Amino acid sequence: MNGQYLSGLAEFLWGIPMAVLHADASGWWIMLIGALVSSACSLIGCFLVLRRLSMLGDAISHAVLPGIVIAFLWSGSRDILPMLLGAGALGLLTAFMTDVLNRQGKLQTDAAIGVTFTWLFAIGVILLSKFASNVDIDLDCVLYGEILYAPFDTVLWGESDLGPRAVWVLAGVTLANAIFVVLGWKQLKVCAFDPGLAQSIGINVALWHYLLMGFTSISTVASFESVGAILVVAMLTVPANTAYLLTERLSHMIFIAIGVGIASSVGGYGLATVLDGSIAGAMATVSGLFFVMAALFSPRHGVVAGFIRRRRELTLEDAQS
C-alpha cells in the first residue's frame, strides 16, 4: 500500500522535469513568458519588499478594474492599448491616493492601501454591472488572465509571425525595469534602506517613491493582462523574500530573486502539465515551495540553522557553567 503511494509520488515528481523537457513550442513560449514576468517583477519586488510595500502589487492589480472598464466604454472595443492606458492610470492613482491618505490623512500605510484598492475595485464592479453587464469582460479574466492562451496571441509583421505579443510586451517591461534599476541604483538603494538618510543627502525621496510606484503599476498591468493578477502578486513578493533570506547584499538579492522566479516558472509549467491545471496557479505554488525551502534551510536565516545555533549556544553555556 505504502509502496504504491511512493511509486505514484515518484512517477508524479519524475513527470515534472519530463513535462518540461518534452514541452512543445507553445510550452517554451509559456515558460519564457513566465520567466519574463518573474524577472520584471523581481527587479521591482526587491525594492517593494525592503520598503514594506509588498501588498501594493495586489492592491494595484485589483484597483485597475475601473480603469479597464472606463477604457472599454470609451473606446468601445477590447483593444489592448486603451485598456493598458486606463489600467496604468488607475495604478498610478492607487499609489497616489495611498500616499495622500498616508501623508495628508495621517492614516497608517496598510490601512491606506486597503481602503484605496477595495474602493476602486468596488467602483469597477459597479461600473461593470451598470454599463457593461452584457459584454464579456468577466472578473475571472481580470483575476486569472490565463497564461495558457498567451502564446497564441501573436504579433504579425506583414507576412511573418514575430512570436507572442506577450513576449514582446514583457521583454520591453523587463528591459525598462532593468534600465530604471541600473540608472537609479544609488537612489533606490538609499531610499529602500534609510529614507531619512536619503532625504538628508539631497535625494528627492518623493520623486523616487513615485517612480518606483509608476514602474510597479506598469509591470503589474502589463503582466497580469497576459498572465493573470495572482502570478504578478506572487512574483512581486515570493522570489524577493526568498532571496531576502539568502543574502545580505541588495545586488545579490535581485539576481537570486530573478533566478528563483525563472525556476518557479519552469517548475510551475511542469507541475501544471502533470496535473493538467492552471499554469499561473502552479507557478505561484512552486515559488511558494522555494520560499518554504529557503525559510527552513537558509544557512544564515533559516529555521533549521537557527535551531542548531541555539542548541550550540545552550551547550556552550552548559559547558561554561
Partner 1 sequence: MPLIESLWAMLGGATEGLPPWIEFFTFSSINVIHVVLGCSLLGASAGAIGCFSFLRKRSLIGDALAHAALPGVCVAFMLTGTKNPLYFLLGAGASCWLGAVSVDAIVRYTRCKEDSALGMVLSVFFGVGILLLTYIQKTGDAAQSGLDHYLFGKAASLVESDVKLIAVVSLGVLGALVLAYKELKVISFDPDFAGAIGLPRRLVELMLATMIVLSVAIGLQAVGVVLMAALLVTPAAAARYWTDRLNIMLMLAAGIGAFSGFFGAYVSYLSPKMPTGPWIVVAVTSLFLASLMFAPRRGVLSRLMRHYRFRKKTARENVLRTLYLFGERADNWEQGYLLNEILHHRLMSTLELRRALYRLERNGLIVETPDHRFALTAAGVHAAARITRLHRLWELYLTRKLEIAPDHVHDDAEEIEHIITPELEKRLIADLGGPQWDPHEKHIPPVGGVA
The footprint of partner 1 (CB under 8 A) covers: 49, 52-55, 57-58, 62, 101, 104-108, 110-111, 113-115, 117-119, 121-123, 125-126, 129-130, 133, 139-140, 144, 230-231, 233-234, 236-238, 240-241, 244-245, 271-272, 275-278, 280-285, 287-288, 291, 295, 301, 303, 306
C-alpha cell at 288: 511558494
Paired strand residues for 161 = 156
Please identify which residue in the block is written with the cell numbers 507553445: 26
- For the chain, the C-alpha Rg in angstroms (whole number) is 22
Q: How far is the CB of 157 from partner 1 (least distance, A)?
A: 34
Which residue, 18 or 115, is less far from partner 1 as judged by CB? 115
C-alpha cell at 65: 478594474
Which residue, 129 or 315, is less far from partner 1 as judged by CB? 129
Which residue, 97 or 165, is less far from partner 1 as judged by CB? 97
Which residue, 109 or 199, is less far from partner 1 as judged by CB? 109
CA 254 – CA 50 distance, rounded (Å): 12
Q: How far is the CB of 103 from partner 1 (least distance, A)?
A: 11
Q: How far is the CB of 127 from partner 1 (least distance, A)?
A: 9
Q: How far is the CB of 193 from partner 1 (least distance, A)?
A: 13
Which residue, 108 or 251, is less far from partner 1 as judged by CB? 108
Write the DSSP string, 23-47. --HHHHHHHHHHHHHHHHHHHHHHH
Paired strand residues for 157 = 160
Q: How far is the CB of 168 from partner 1 (least distance, A)?
A: 25
C-alpha cell at 276: 493538467
CB contact set of 300 (below 8 Å; sequence gap of 6+): 246, 248
CB 272 within 8 A of CB 281: yes
Q: How far is the CB of 273 from partner 1 (least distance, A)?
A: 12
Which residue, 165 or 188, is less far from partner 1 as judged by CB? 188
The amino acid at 251:
S
* Greatest CA separation for the chain: 82
